[in-house]
């Protein structure tokens, strides 16, 4: 596989790796909720430009990995832009066949597309800088998440982390059994091969989940109070991270409002 898996924490250390996972999750959630308000392209566009270097530098993430993550969300972002551009009323900017592209639709569609990329970037930056074990330990400590939910979610998270490697293993194993296949030949990409691999991965993951559930029950999951082997600290540096990120978002919103470019759902109708 080319590049690191986007659903698993990078093995190196960085300032974002050291921050409390509960704080990072809360900040990402708040920013995503705040982004529901503006529908002008300028506000999410500026925030995206600020988030790109912040994720790359703060998490020590290769810029190519950041761009690869954005490419995964790009098709959905383009579809959101296209649908809004031809379905919202407003001044007609252009005609594409029987469809009319309006200025309002293009503006709102661009804003929603940039919002999609920004939320996707926040999600990828969170997963690349957050170990699953530290996340669930932090939620158990600081968010008062019960041990039954904590261990169950952690087990599911581990299964999801293994999906890329499992997919690659299944694809290679099925390709080896194909008659007449030359060594080193690229893996088949026809719909039949992809469907067989997807079904195999689904069955193997379901069986693994069943085994995990049985193992957790046999070990007395949630039968009494539990201690934490490796507590996740919560200190002033986490408060600084939250203040810087939320303060930056607030300043961008304020600047957009003062510049007269901030639009909300109420203003676009």
The reported pLDDT for the residue numbered 122 is 93
155 contact partners, CB below 8 Å, separation of at least 6: 209, 212, 213, 216
8 contact partners, CB below 8 Å, separation of at least 6: 127, 128, 161, 164
Distance, CA of 233 to CA of 83 (rounded, Å): 45
The answer on 253 and 200 residing in a single domain is no
Structural domain range at position 205? 163-177+187-218
Q: Which of 2-16, 92-106, 147-161 has the largest mean confidence?
A: 92-106
The answer on 169 and 70 residing in a single domain is no
The answer on 130 and 241 residing in a single domain is yes
Tell the residue number behind the tokens 């009494």, with chain if given: 224
Residue 254 CB neighbours (<10 A): 11
The answer on 251 and 173 residing in a single domain is no
Distance, CA of 126 to CA of 120 (rounded, Å): 10
258 contact partners, CB below 8 Å, separation of at least 6: none
State the Cα angle at 143 between 139 and 148, rounded to 5°.
Answer: 60
Mean pLDDT, rounded, for 17-44 = 94
Answer yes or no: is 145 within a domain.
no
Q: Which range has the worst mean pLDDT, 109-123, 160-174, 233-247? A: 160-174
Evaluate whether 188 touches 178 at the Cβ level (below 8 Å): yes
The reported pLDDT for the residue numbered 109 is 92
Q: Which of 32-36, 149-153, 168-172 has the largest mean confidence?
A: 32-36
**Per-residue pLDDT for 236 more than 60?**
yes
**Per-residue pLDDT for 5 more than 80?**
no
Answer yes or no: is 182 within a domain.
no
Mean pLDDT, rounded, for 169-192 = 80
- Looking at every residue in the chain, the average pLDDT score rounds to 86
**Per-residue pLDDT for 243 more than 80?**
yes
- Total structural domains in the chain? 2
Give tens-digit pLDDT for 79-90.
999 998 888 887
Give tens-digit pLDDT for 214-228.
877 766 665 566 677
Q: Which range has the worst mean pLDDT, 77-81, 185-189, 241-245? A: 185-189
The answer on 194 and 66 residing in a single domain is no
41 contact partners, CB below 8 Å, separation of at least 6: 107, 110, 111, 114
**Per-residue pLDDT for 1 more than 70?**
no
Report which of residues 253 and 7 the model is more confident about: 253
State the Cα angle at 162 between 208 and 210, rounded to 5°.
Answer: 10
Answer yes or no: is 156 within a domain.
no
Q: Which range has the worst mean pLDDT, 57-61, 120-124, 144-148, 224-228? A: 224-228
The answer on 80 and 47 residing in a single domain is yes
State the Cα angle at 195 between 119 and 204, rounded to 5°.
Answer: 80
Cα-Cα-Cα-Cα torsion 99, 103, 104, 109, nearest 10 degrees, comes to 70
The answer on 244 and 114 residing in a single domain is yes
The answer on 209 and 241 residing in a single domain is no
The whole model's pTM is what?
A: 0.80
Mean pLDDT, rounded, for 110-133 = 92
The answer on 122 and 89 residing in a single domain is yes
């Amino acid at each position: 596989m080319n590049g690191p898996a986007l659903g698993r924490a990078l093995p190196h250390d960085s300032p974002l790796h050291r921050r409390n996972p509960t704080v990072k999750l809360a900040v990402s959630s708040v920013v995503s909720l705040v982004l529901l308000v503006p529908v002008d392209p300028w506000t999410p566009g500026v925030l995206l430009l600020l988030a790109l270097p912040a994720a790359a530098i703060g998490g020590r993430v290769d810029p190519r990995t950041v761009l690869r993550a954005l490419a995964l969300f790009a098709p959905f972002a383009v579809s959101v832009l296209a649908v809004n551009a031809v379905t919202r009323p407003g001044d007609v900017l252009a005609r594409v066949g029987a469809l009319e592209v309006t200025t309002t639709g293009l503006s709102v569609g661009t804003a929603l597309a940039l919002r999609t990329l920004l939320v996707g970037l926040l999600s990828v930056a969170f997963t690349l800088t957050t170990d699953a074990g530290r996340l669930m330990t932090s939620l158990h400590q600081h968010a008062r998440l019960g041990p039954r939910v904590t261990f169950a979610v952690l087990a599911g998270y581990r299964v999801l982390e293994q999906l890329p490697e499992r997919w690659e293993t299944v694809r290679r194993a099925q390709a080896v059994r194909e008659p007449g296949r030359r060594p080193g030949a690229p893996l088949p990409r026809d719909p039949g091969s992809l469907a067989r691999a997807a079904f195999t991965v689904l069955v193997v993951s379901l069986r693994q989940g069943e085994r995990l559930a049985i193992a957790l029950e046999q070990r007395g999951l949630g039968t009494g109070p539990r201690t934490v082997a490796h507590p996740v600290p919560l200190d002033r540096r986490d408060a600084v991270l939250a203040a810087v990120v939320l303060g930056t978002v607030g300043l961008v919103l304020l600047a957009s409002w003062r510049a007269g470019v901030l639009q909300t759902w109420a203003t676009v109708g």
